[in-house]
């Protein structure tokens, strides 16, 4: 697109034209304004996109859907970003890659690791909490005397991973009276839980109950830790502090576009995003994806509580304090920790995307 401004090269009257006097000043104001306008109107592909790399905490799945959606439907490009999603998994320590500058952002599971980084002197910061509820659950067999959350501590065994023993299980001991003696190993296979009707097993609301239904042939009791006091935000966007401080515009655009991606994934056409998920993780099935999306909605994992007013990704000082107090009391984190260094509210609570939620 060309814009031409016609001017006269001579003054037939032989006098100084007032336009010559003011022309330079006008151009100083007009040219930058026109350039800015054209920049806003040109499609994102005609602009230089900022490259951003986001490392997830596991293999591609519906629980990462909003980010894949923003890639698939062009939201990131619309926000001037060229985003690469790098899958996590059992052999990928993407948090370490983020800390060392190999990737820009990392998907934290909950706030424990972010607050632990403060204790360890690692300069990272959470800029958004995309899940209002941690999807972590405990499951039990129905009709075996383990049908309410308070009864789960009476199970024969509580099957949890090594990571859980030093994180949320300590909270279960402190807040609900679970005992260390009941701990049994969970190797991400539901067979032991299915065999023992008096057992309890950890899982994600979006995945393990589905596996139990498929393999065991029954629907387990499912108890969301978030609905029983474990009030961390989850599936965070976490970055190196120096990157966040030096690139606030990029961070804001990435957060906003990811929020939009989640609204579109939950409430719009998510087929293209699901195809990208299956491309990255060929073992993922349409049935599993549909189950996970349904549970994300049913439990209000992404969109509930604070997000109703402030938008997906919302965080608050009150929730951070509440969660820190709980886990510090349980001995998961040290007392007196300056936990506020683990997050910032600078990029959230702006109501982005609220108009996309169905009425």
Alpha-carbon distance of 184 to 159, in angstroms, equals 5
How far is it, in rounded angstroms, from Cα 219 to Cα 212?
A: 7
Q: How far is CA 288 from CA 69, 283, 313, in A?
A: 17, 10, 24
Using DSSP, state whether 213 is helix, strand or coil. helix
Among 262, 254, 281, 260, which residue's Cα sits nearest to residue 104? 254
- The tens digit of pLDDT for each residue in 43-62 reads 444 569 999 999 999 999 99
Q: Are 163 and 120 in contact (CB under 8 A)?
A: no
Which region among 18-22, 173-177, 190-194 has the lowest average model confidence (pLDDT)?
18-22
Query: pLDDT-based confidence at 359, cuts 50/70/90?
Result: confident
**Whether residue 15 has pLDDT greater than 70:** no
Domains of the chain: 48-133+232-356 (3.40.190.10), 136-228 (3.40.190)
Q: Are 123 and 244 in contact (CB under 8 A)?
A: no
Which helix (H) or strand (E) element contains residue 235? strand 234-240
Q: What is the mean pLDDT of residues 141-162?
A: 97
Q: Lowest-pLDDT range, 14-23, 210-219, 252-261?
A: 14-23
Asked which of 29-38, 44-53, 182-191 is least confident by mean pLDDT, the reply is: 29-38
pLDDT greater than 60 at residue 87 = yes
pLDDT value at position 101?
87
Distance CA 89, CA 326 (A): 29
On the CB side of 334, CA atoms within 13 Å amount to: 8
Closest CA to 125 of 101, 102, 105, 109: 105
**For residues 137 and 186, what is the distance between their CA atoms, to the nearest angstrom?**
13
Q: What is the pLDDT of residues 100-119, one digit of tens each?
A: 889 999 999 999 999 999 99
- Rounded to whole angstroms, the Cα distance separating 13 from 267 reads 68
What is the percent of the chain with per-residue pLDDT over 90, rounded to a whole number? 82
Tracing tokens 């029983």 back to the chain, one arrives at: 228
Strand partners, 199: 157
How many Cβ atoms from other residues are within 10 Å of residue 114's Cβ?
Answer: 26
Give the gyration radius of the chain's Cα atoms. Answer: 25
CB atoms within 10 A of CB 101: 10
Q: What is the pLDDT of residues 288-324, one digit of tens each?
A: 999 999 999 999 999 999 999 999 999 999 999 999 9
Task: Count CA atoms closer than 13 A to 68's CA, side-chain side.
Answer: 26
Token readout for 107 is 């998907």
User: What end-to-end distance do the CA atoms of the chain give, in Å?
Assistant: 40
Cβ–Cβ under 8 Å, residues 357 and 264: no
User: CB-based burial of residue 341 (10 Å sphere; 0-12 exposed, 13-18 middle, 19+ buried)?
Assistant: middle
Largest Cα–Cα distance of the chain, in whole Å?
Answer: 103
Q: What is the pLDDT of residue 140?
A: 98
pLDDT at residue 18 is higher than 80: no
């Amino acid at each position: 697109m060309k814009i031409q401004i016609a001017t006269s090269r001579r003054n037939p009257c032989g006098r100084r034209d007032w336009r010559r006097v003011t022309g330079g000043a006008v151009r100083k104001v007009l040219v930058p304004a026109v350039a800015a306008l054209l920049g806003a109107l040109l499609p994102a592909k005609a602009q230089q996109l900022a490259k951003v790399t986001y490392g997830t905490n596991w293999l591609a799945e519906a629980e990462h859907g909003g980010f894949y959606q923003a890639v698939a439907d062009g939201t990131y490009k619309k926000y001037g970003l060229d985003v690469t999603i790098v899958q996590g998994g059992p052999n990928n320590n993407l948090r370490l890659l983020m800390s060392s500058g190999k990737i820009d952002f990392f998907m934290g599971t909950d706030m424990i690791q972010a607050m632990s980084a403060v204790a360890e002197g690692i300069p990272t910061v959470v800029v958004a909490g995309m899940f209002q509820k941690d999807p972590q659950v405990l499951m039990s067999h129905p009709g075996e005397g383990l049908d309410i959350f308070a009864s789960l501590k009476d199970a024969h065994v509580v099957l949890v991973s090594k990571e859980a023993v030093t994180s949320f299980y300590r909270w279960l001991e402190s807040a609900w009276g679970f005992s260390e003696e009941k701990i049994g190993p969970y190797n991400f296979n539901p067979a032991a839980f299915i065999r023992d009707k008096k057992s309890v097993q950890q899982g994600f609301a979006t995945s393990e109950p589905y596996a139990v239904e498929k393999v065991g042939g029954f629907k387990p009791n499912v108890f969301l830790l978030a609905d029983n006091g474990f009030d961390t935000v989850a599936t965070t966007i976490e970055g190196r502090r120096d990157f966040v401080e030096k690139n606030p515009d990029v961070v804001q655009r990435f957060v906003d576009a990811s929020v939009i991606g989640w609204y579109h994934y939950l409430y719009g056409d998510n087929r293209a995003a699901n195809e990208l998920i299956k491309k990255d993780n060929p073992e993922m099935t349409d049935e599993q994806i549909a189950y996970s999306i349904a549970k994300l909605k049913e439990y209000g994992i992404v969109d509930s509580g604070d997000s109703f007013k402030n938008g997906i990704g919302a965080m608050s000082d009150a929730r951070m304090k509440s969660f820190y107090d709980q886990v510090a009391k349980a001995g998961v984190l040290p007392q007196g920790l300056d936990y506020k260094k683990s997050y910032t509210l600078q990029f959230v609570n702006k109501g982005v995307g609220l108009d996309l939620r169905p009425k």
